[in-house]
Amino acid sequence: MKEKILDKATDMFLTLGFKSVTMDDLAHEMGISKKTIYAHFENKTKLVETSTLELFEVISKGIDTICSLQKNPIEELYEIKKFAMRHLKDEKASPQYQLQKYYPRIHKTMRKKQFELMQNCVVDNLKRGMELGIYRSSLNINFIARIYFTGVTSIKDHTLFPEDEFPISQLMDDYLEYHLRGIVTPEGRNILNEIIHSNHE
C-alpha cells in the first residue's frame, strides 16, 4: 500500500503541484481513508520528501542508463532531456519552483543531489565530446559543467521565465541549443543542426 500511495502522490504532485495537493485529495483520489495514508507517512512533508527522493532515484538511474550507452555526446544530452521531461510530466505544475517556495529544506537537499548527479554526467559528456572533436578543445570543463547546471535550474524560475511566455519544453530545447552552440566545433555544429532539424519534423 505504501508504494501505491507514493506512486499516486508523486503523479498528483507533478500534475497539480506540491502545494495544491492535500492529504484529503490524495485519499479521495485513491478511495482510501486519510488514516491509511498517515499509517505510512506521518505528515505531508514526509510524503513530499519521500516522493521527491524516489523520483530523483528513478531519473538518476535512467540518466545512468542513457550515459552507459556511450552515444554521441550531443545526442546523449537530448536523450537525457527527453527522459527527464517525460518523468517530470513536462513540469506542468512547476514542481521545482513549488518545492523551493513551500518546502525549502527538501529543495536544498534535492538541489545538492541534482548537482552531484549532473556534475558527473556533464563532465563526462564534455570530456568525450572534446575527445571526439565535436566540442572545442579549449573548454574549461569545470566552468561549463557548473554554468550548465546553473542554467538548467534557473530557467525553472517562473519569476524570470513566466510560463505563458516560455513553455517549459520549448525553454529546455532553447537552453540546450544555447549551451551546445557555445561549445561545439564545426563538426559538432553539423550534428547539432541535424538533431534540431529532425526534432522539428
Residue 93 has pLDDT above 60, yes or no: no
Residue 96 has pLDDT above 80, yes or no: no
Instruction: Report residue 48: phi and psi, to 5°.
Output: -60, -45
pLDDT at 37: 96
Residue pair 175/155 in contact (Cβ under 8 Å)? The answer is: yes
pLDDT at 199: 80
pLDDT at 92: 61
Stretch 60-73: mean pLDDT: 92
- Which of 94-98, 99-103, 118-122, 147-151 is least confident? 94-98
pLDDT at 94: 72
Rg (CA), the chain: 19
Other C-beta atoms within 10 Å of 58: how many? 13
CATH architecture, range 48-200? Orthogonal Bundle (1.10)
Secondary structure percentages of the chain, helix, strand, coil, to 5: 75, 0, 25
pLDDT at 90: 59
Mapping DSSP to helix (H, G, I), strand (E, B) and coil, where does residue 112 land?
A: helix
- Which of 42-56, 68-82, 83-97, 132-146 is least confident? 83-97
- The pLDDT tens digits of the residues spanning 124-180 come to 999 999 999 999 999 999 999 999 999 988 888 888 998 889 988 889 999 999 999
Alpha-carbon distance of 66 to 60, in angstroms, equals 10
Stretch 69-97: mean pLDDT: 83
Alpha-carbon distance of 119 to 20, in angstroms, equals 32
pLDDT at 85: 85
pLDDT at 91: 60
Alpha-carbon distance of 82 to 78, in angstroms, equals 6
Of 194, 53, 188, which is closest to residue 125 (Cα–Cα)? 188
Of 35, 81, 34, which is closest to residue 62 (Cα–Cα)? 81
What global pTM score does this model have?
A: 0.87
pLDDT at 63: 92
